[in-house]
Structure 1
Amino acid sequence: MKKLSPFCIVFCLLMLSLFLITPANLALAGAYPADHGILTWEYSEFTKAFRSHLQNNSLAHLVPLIAMLIIGLLGYQYYQNRLFRQKRLQELAEARSAIASLPEQRRAWHRIQSSLDCSFKMIHNDKPLPTLHKGRIVDLSGGGCRIASKQNLQIGDSLLMNLQLNPRQKLAIKGTVVRTEFEDDSCPDCTAGVQFLDMSEKARDYIIKWMFKHHQAIAEGTRRVNEGLCLRCGKPLPIDLRETLFCSQCQSIRETES
């Protein structure tokens, strides 16, 4: 559930203050009846009437107020969720359009170079084996990927892959090995082409959106390098720092993070 926005918090505080102002003013009038023009009542009579009024009418005031608050909050949350969904759909449409318009589009899915860590399990008799293998995805598309691993993969092997595109998006995808590449006989490392199987549209949309953002990040990084800008913050670099790609401040931050 999303956190309440400042607008909602202010609205709640405003309504609560309106609810408390009337009893507070009445209590103040009871404490200082002469200052508020109450000259015909004795103080004890006023406080007795005020207490009776609160006891008899508290629910009558409280229930409508709570109902108004609930209706207001639900309406605001519905409006925000609708805007969020429309924004996501628009981003996805832009991502699909951008991927489709990329140059050298000759296959059903354009591949984007990447360096994503992943893990996978071999599938035997439709059941994943317990051993977890590590790998690195060197390119990715909406229909498959190429994965580099020390595991000796063979054409036809079935895999259950775990992909983490960002800290909040982790995908479990089935795939089958359709081709393999080995650097040489002495190197056990294998690069395998994997075709995704039975992928949901939601998972495919996540991948396409990630590809779009990754492609944009690469293009922006290339532009900054060509224009002599800091790769991290985009500020102009002195000539003597252009080979390092980062300004002194960003370089210090990178060293601290590492």
Structure 2
Amino acid sequence: MGLFKRNPFGHILFVKKWLIRILGALTHRRFRGFNELQIDGSEIIKTLPDTNVLFISNHQTYFADVVAMFHVFNASLSGRVDSIKNVGYLWNPKLNIYYVAAKETMKAGLLPKILAYVGSISIERTWRAEGKEVNRQVKMSDISNIGKALDDGWVITFPQGTTTPFKPIRKGTAHIIKRYKPVVVPIVIDGFRRSFDKKGLRIKKKNILQTFEIKEPLDIDYDNETTEDIVKKIEYAIEQHPSFLKVIPQKELEVQEELNKKRKWKT
């Protein structure tokens, strides 16, 4: 790799590699130390092609969710199964991983700007800006940038566009799937909202079980399924369909509470 080789967005890969190494070393204990990240399905990562893969996930914090994915993906590619033990897997990280994020979020301070260099595809939200509801047209340059990233590697997106659970899936994700025909891999996370503040930068509570489930790629008929069909598949795949909202019986809650006690990370 040439010292000044760049990716399609103009980022110097040598700089990006060192940022991933440093940030990875600084954040490792957030998922294996202060809290315990329980991973399931990481063997799927090694079976994926090197490009045109779209990861879809529910969203709990601005940054911790993506950071955890960088850890899990690179650990899996280095041969670890459902584990991020020993951060050495970040010495040679996969450099063509990108994630979709709101432009205003990635410009809000020095750290977000650094995180943006690591792999952000910054887009303008069509429904919200500066804390207010808006209604504006999708920028075609944002869509083409996502396509450019898929052509170069893997893209992470949060199709609800918010950290609030059970919000509707944005149809833009379905349009991207129909247009670029990527391998679509669902991920379901939990525990991040309890572990971190909303931004995912500050540890709010320790000894929390964080879960990270990677599911088999979705079976999608790109040409014949409608965007509505794909939206529904996404809702179920990332467990954000309204049917997942239910009243849990008291007995089940008590059993769950006992399990949570056993799951606490023991030092």
Shorter chain as denominator, the TM-score bin is under 0.3
Q: Which has the larger radius of gyration?
A: 1
Higher strand fraction (1 or 2): 1
Q: Which has the higher contact order (CA 8 A, sep 6+)?
A: 2
Higher helix fraction (1 or 2): 1
- TM-score of the two chains, using structure 2 as the length reference: 0.23
- TM-score of the two chains, using structure 1 as the length reference: 0.23
